[in-house]
Chain A
């Protein structure tokens, strides 16, 4: 018995060995370029280390002092800003992406020119966020084309100062994020829906199910894994939002710092090369991101499992 088992396992390991060997490059790269810097950041955050003018102050070991100063600062305000900015962009994004994905994948609608539309909606993703933000900055400025258009149409009497109001700025950032990412999301979700066995849809429509019922009872549960993936990656991207608000508000996060995201806050610390504070903030961000991702993951997959999914 034992000899047989050994013979069997010996055969299996010989192939698995090659699998592991091919995985080594990835793990080596990850270890050197992601894991070691991660530990290094945590180590750096325990020091007071910045530059005043041309003189270097530190590194002096201060323990958890950096973390205390971060928590005493407006960290929660910036976290709130980041989440609000993410939600303003994400809610329209997911709704429209789902609608478009269902329409594009629907075998009965047979939309004409769907390839053309797919290309068009993906294009904003290709533009660099920084130039996109500069474009919006010029479009929505006090004297810009948008204001002129609205005044000519008679909707406004005097220019509406988008970038001087809290919700104007936040709305613009959300709009930009939406436009940049809904193409990507649509294509992902469409691929997921196309992966659903079409006989399910046919059977459902023969049984007299309405479109909404098909959507909620068949489509959504089946594409749940992809949906979770979209949610988590969007959440992580949202938490790390930087380039759009940075360029739109000229790094000031104005007005009243209501569009300052966590990474903009971190970038401000790098103004004087403050690796101590920046490191502390990075670690906190890492913990928040990991926690939120786990929450999303367990809530959604836990519910899926209970319904008798795979």
Chain B
């Protein structure tokens, strides 16, 4: 009798595990999102409002910590009680960020109020994809008026407008780019570190090449790697990457390929890849790289940290004397350009429209906040009044050895033309640079590199045709 009971229980247990296994798997499938988002909640668990349709959790999708830092410094204290803000961070490498974001947006209608996407960040390289879709809403619908955005640079507004003129995105920064060089290397090779004098030495691409030769003679590198000057060329193209649905390679991009191959062969660069550890090391105290093409966000978000001898994680501070912080200066360089830019969009179906609008207004429109952002973070904000005022003020950038680069940034910002972007830019830029790395390294010839580029593109964007 006991044997029968035991064996009967075992059978039941096995049957239960079969059914139990089934249901948990299928539940997992409907709730999990593809990609690997890591959620970093800031406060305790969200309280669900008693019977309200509005959730108390504001979900913001980002790909790095830049906006999170801005939020924490300039808005977090104003957040109304009872709400929590949840940053969902997915790195943008290989499209992981967009994949996670797309899954969440397409699931918006089915998501609970606390899980709905409220706000998300997009880059210039793919902003058109979201602006022209139904996943973003006109900012007027959440209360951002033309008056609020009146002081912004026009190009930041135009990019984020869809075909019918609805304003779908807003940005707190402008991204004019300059050439940031090491003062000590300039003194050693050119004899001076004054920005005006250095500018004469790199005023156009021919003088840039000549200076590169001088740098090489003294044992320094003009640029760090292959991709450093890419944006300078890619931003000054005469036509977008994609014409209809055909990929077109602009002559200016070809110029980048030529210059980089030339520089690599002559040893003017260290053969590094953008954002790699070796690339960042060139910005440090031991670095032998003369300069980097960087926009304002690059100076603060990337170079300042890399220049320190004692890293911030080890307790070091961003101040003169720590590594080569302060040994840099900015000048316009051979061509003006802009690099990227981050826009904030409000997701269609958001349940926290008021808070989203308030965050946007504070960080992207409020004069006092934006002035603080420049002074404390050396960023270039999207506010003509503030920037012009600071350009004429005593504002000094400690990182740039006491220089006030803002007038240069303002002038460059006025010239920015972003009419040649396409929704496919991110994949095309990434894959083109990757394919060309093999050519620069000498692993393959140029035709094979191009073939690899086209193969990669046909995988990423099956609807594009190759010329």
Contacts and interface: CB of A to CB of B under 8 A. Distances in A.
- The residue among A73, A250, A257 with the most chain B CB atoms within 10 A of its own CB is A257
Interface stretch (A24-32, A231-239, A283-291): A24-32
Interface string A234-268: 00000000000000001110111100000001001
Contact of A33 (B25, B133, B135, B443): B25
Interface stretch (A49-57, A98-106, A192-200, A216-224): A49-57
Nearest to B273: A250
- Interface SS of chain A: mixed
A272 B458 CA distance: 10
B441 A164 contact: yes
Contact of B94 (A54, A74, A271): A271
A118 interface: no
Contact of B455 (A29, A250, A254, A257): A257
Contact of B463 (A52, A256, A269): A52
B6 to A, nearest CB: 14
B459 A268 contact: yes
B45 interface: no
Contact of B129 (A54, A57, A138, A141): A54
B238 interface: no
Chain A interface residue bracket vs B = 35 or more
Nearest to A50: B462
Contacts of B463: 50, 52, 57
B205 interface: no
A214 interface: no
B130 interface: yes
A29 B18 contact: yes
Contacts of A141: 276-278
A96 interface: no
A29 B21 contact: yes
Nearest to B270: A142
Given A54-B135, A268-B460, A142 B452 contact: no
Contacts of B18: 25, 28-29
B22 A255 contact: no
**Which one of B15, B95, B444, B459 has the highest number of Cβ atoms from chain A below 10 Å of its Cβ?**
B459
Contacts of A142: 271-272, 278
Interface in B448-467: 448-449, 452, 455-456, 458-463
Given A28-B18, A33-B25, A54-B129, A255 B441 contact: yes
Contact of B437 (A52, A53, A165, A254): A254
Interface of B: 11, 14-15, 17-18, 21-22, 25, 93-95, 99, 102, 105-106, 129-130, 132-135, 271-272, 276-278, 281, 423, 427, 434, 437-438, 441, 443-444, 448-449, 452, 455-456, 458-463
Closest 8 CB pairs of A and B: A268-B459, A53-B129, A255-B443, A54-B133, A25-B18, A255-B438, A52-B463, A256-B444
Interface of A: 21-22, 25, 28-29, 32-33, 50-55, 57, 73-74, 138, 141-143, 161, 164-166, 250-252, 254-257, 265, 268-269, 271-272, 274, 277
22 contacts: A25-B14, A33-B25, A52-B463, A53-B132, A53-B133, A54-B106, A57-B462, A73-B458, A74-B455, A161-B441, A164-B437, A164-B441, A250-B93, A250-B94, A251-B94, A255-B443, A256-B438, A265-B459, A268-B459, A269-B459, A271-B95, A272-B461
